[in-house]
Amino acid sequence: MTYIEKPVVPKVVKLEEPAAKERKILNMMLNTGSDIYQGACKKRGSTLKDEYRKVCGVAYMDPRDMAKLGVTNWDTVKVTTDWGEVAVSSVHSRDAPHEGTIFIPKGPWANVITSHETYCCCDPTYKGIYCTVEKTDEPVLLMADLMRAVYKKYVDDEETIPELKSLGEMPVYKKK
């Protein structure tokens, strides 16, 4: 069969390469879903840790798209959809080539920008969402900080959120 050839992709595409043209902002398609690193970290319970941010707060990108945007591994990009925007780290995808598509493992970061639209079928649309990707200086937040910044359940004054102290990587509660 002709369509089964295994694709090859160079590890790093440099900007000087003729095919790559630098751009400020890319129009892409976003897919989310589970991934073995995300699954292992989530179910072990280590969701507050930096480790969780490293496996879920990332956008797996095609190296060619990364070259166009001028980002390398662990640079920060902002992904925007109709439903929100979030800062995540850009990393090389293991499954490249998939130019024009990014993959964010399911988790609090992906949730901010996925669609809750179920079209009366009970299931939200987690895959195939149009998005834009651009370089940013905003930090990638830890899980607890992200939940506070996005959903603001227990903050009185929303203006102060950027100045609040980070909730850190350990559970915070008052002991008896």
Partner 1 sequence: MAYEPPVTDYDEIVENCTCAFCGCNCDDLDYLVKDGHVVGVRHACRLGASKIMEDMDQRLMVPMIRDETGELQEVDWDTALDKAAELIAGAIRPIFYGWSETSIETMKHGIRLGELVGAVLDNQATICHGPSLQAVQNAGYPIATLGEVKNRADMIVYTGSNPMNSHPRHLGRYSTFPRGWFRQRGRFDRTLITMDPKYSDTAKMSDIWIGFEQNGDYGFYNAIRAALKGKKIDQDYVSGIPKEDIMELAEAMKNVQFGALYFGLGLTHTLSKQRNIDMAIEMLTDLNEYTKWVLTPMRGHFNVNGFNIFMAFEMGFPYGVDFCRGYQRYMNGETNTIDLLTRKECDVFMVIAADPGAHYPGGAVKHLAEIPVIQVDIHWGPSTEIADVVLPGSFVGVEAAGTSYRMDGVPIYMKKAIDKPETCRDDEWIMRELLERVQKIKDQEAAVASK
Residues that bind partner 1 (CB under 8 A): 1-4, 6-7, 29, 31, 33-36, 39-49, 83-84, 94-98, 101, 103, 106-108, 111-116, 118-128, 143-144, 147-148, 150-155, 170-176
* Choice between 4 and 19, CB closer to partner 1: 4
- 3-class SS of residue 33: strand
Question: Are the CB atoms for 79 and 101 separated by under 8 Å?
Answer: no
- Give min distance, CB of 86 to partner 1, in A: 9
Least Cβ distance, residue 53 to partner 1 (angstroms) = 12
**Residues forming a β-bridge with 76:** 89
Please report where in the chains the tokens 């751009």 appear, as a residue. 23
C-beta closer to partner 1: residue 18 or 162: 162
Q: Which residue shows structure tokens 């949730």?
A: 111
Rounded CA separation 10/144 (Å): 37
- Which residue number, 25 or 155, has a Cβ lying nearer to partner 1? 155
87 Cβ contact partners less than 8 Å away, ≥ 6 residues apart:
76, 77, 78, 79, 136, 138, 139, 140, 141
Of the pair 19, 170, the CB lying nearest partner 1 is at 170
**Considering the complex, what minimum distance in angstroms separates the CB of residue 16 from partner 1?**
26
